[in-house]
């Protein structure tokens, strides 16, 4: 198992190196991309549009609210998409290299999670620059990020196991993710929809992963109830993903 994780890390960092190999800035894009994203939303929404939305007393209130949810969603959507396409992207390796398929899952996850960490570091630095209070509660941030990561990982694995049998899933998943994004209080606050469409919040699993982050960034508080719910969601998905993987992996290798 230790050797498998070593291979996964090697594949992940090779992926990060090769991603920008033919660009002028190379690996600097790992820093430039999240920084530009934060600056765009900060300037456009908080300065030009003056969107405060009754959150906290700051001209950057909307950016403080937006950044953790948006960065988490960007990671989540890309990770789910890439992991779910593992058997299409890595078919040539799976057929030739005698290592368990879950190694490719882990490698993809590590690659995307590194970018997520870099992005969130910039998000926290943004809070420091604007003078937003950062309390001891921010020690929870790595755990909250890991929960988002595990949610993306296991959901991506489940999708990937059905992809070889239902090829349309490859086209359906991006549509699902796009609809999911707009049904989740990320660029708007939940009060805008909750009175009319409460089910979009109450039965939206991703909401329980990002609301604790939004609350942490805005008020430096931890929503333990939502954290507990997100733990439960990850646990259920983990059990389901492992069970499906053991049941289906042999047949999938014959299909691809």
Mean per-residue pLDDT, 58-86: 90
DSSP annotation of 204: -
Better-predicted residue by pLDDT, 91 or 187: 187
Residue 66 has pLDDT above 70, yes or no: yes
**Alpha helix segments (H runs only) across the chain:** 2-19, 29-41, 61-84, 86-89, 91-96, 102-130, 141-162, 169-182, 191-194, 199-202, 207-219, 224-255
Q: Would you state the pLDDT for residue 240?
A: 97
The encoded tokens of residue 128 equal 């420091």
Least confident of 95-99, 187-191, 215-219: 95-99
Confidence of residue 21 (pLDDT cuts 50, 70, 90): low
> Among 125, 134, 144, 132, which residue's Cα sits nearest to residue 62?
132
Mean per-residue pLDDT, 222-239: 96
Q: Would you state the pLDDT for residue 212?
A: 96
Confidence of residue 200 (pLDDT cuts 50, 70, 90): confident
Cβ partners under 8 Å of residue 6, min gap 6: none
pTM for this entry:
0.89
Confidence of residue 31 (pLDDT cuts 50, 70, 90): low
Confidence of residue 15 (pLDDT cuts 50, 70, 90): confident
Residue 95 has pLDDT above 90, yes or no: no
Residue 46 has pLDDT above 80, yes or no: no
* Cβ(79)–Cβ(146) below 8 Å: no
Q: Would you state the pLDDT for residue 77?
A: 94
Diameter over CA atoms, the chain: 59
């Amino acid at each position: 198992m230790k050797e498998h994780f070593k291979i996964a890390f090697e594949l992940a960092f090779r992926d990060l190196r090769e991603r920008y190999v033919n660009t002028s800035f190379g690996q600097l894009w790992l820093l430039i991309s999240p920084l530009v994203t934060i600056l765009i939303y900060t300037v456009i929404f908080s300065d030009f549009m003056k969107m405060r939305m009754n959150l906290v007393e700051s001209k950057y209130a909307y950016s403080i609210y937006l950044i953790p949810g948006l960065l988490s969603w960007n990671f989540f959507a890309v990770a789910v998409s890439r992991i779910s396409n593992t058997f299409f992207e890595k078919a040539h390796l799976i057929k030739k290299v005698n290592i368990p398929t879950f190694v490719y899952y882990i490698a993809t996850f590590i690659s995307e999670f590194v970018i997520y960490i870099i992005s969130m570091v910039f998000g926290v630095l943004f809070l420091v620059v604007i003078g937003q209070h950062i309390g001891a509660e921010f020690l929870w941030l790595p755990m909250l990020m890991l929960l988002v990561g595990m949610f993306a990982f296991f959901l991506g694995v489940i999708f990937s196991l059905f992809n070889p049998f239902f090829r349309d899933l490859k086209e359906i998943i991006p549509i699902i993710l796009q609809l999911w994004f707009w049904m989740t209080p990320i660029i708007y606050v939940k009060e805008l929809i909750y009175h009319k469409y409460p089910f979009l919040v109450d039965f939206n699993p991703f909401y329980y992963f990002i609301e604790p982050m939004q609350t942490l960034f805005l008020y430096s508080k931890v929503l333990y109830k939502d954290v507990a719910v997100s733990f439960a969601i990850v646990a259920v998905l983990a059990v389901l993903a492992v069970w499906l993987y053991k049941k289906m992996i042999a047949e999938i290798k014959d299909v691809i």
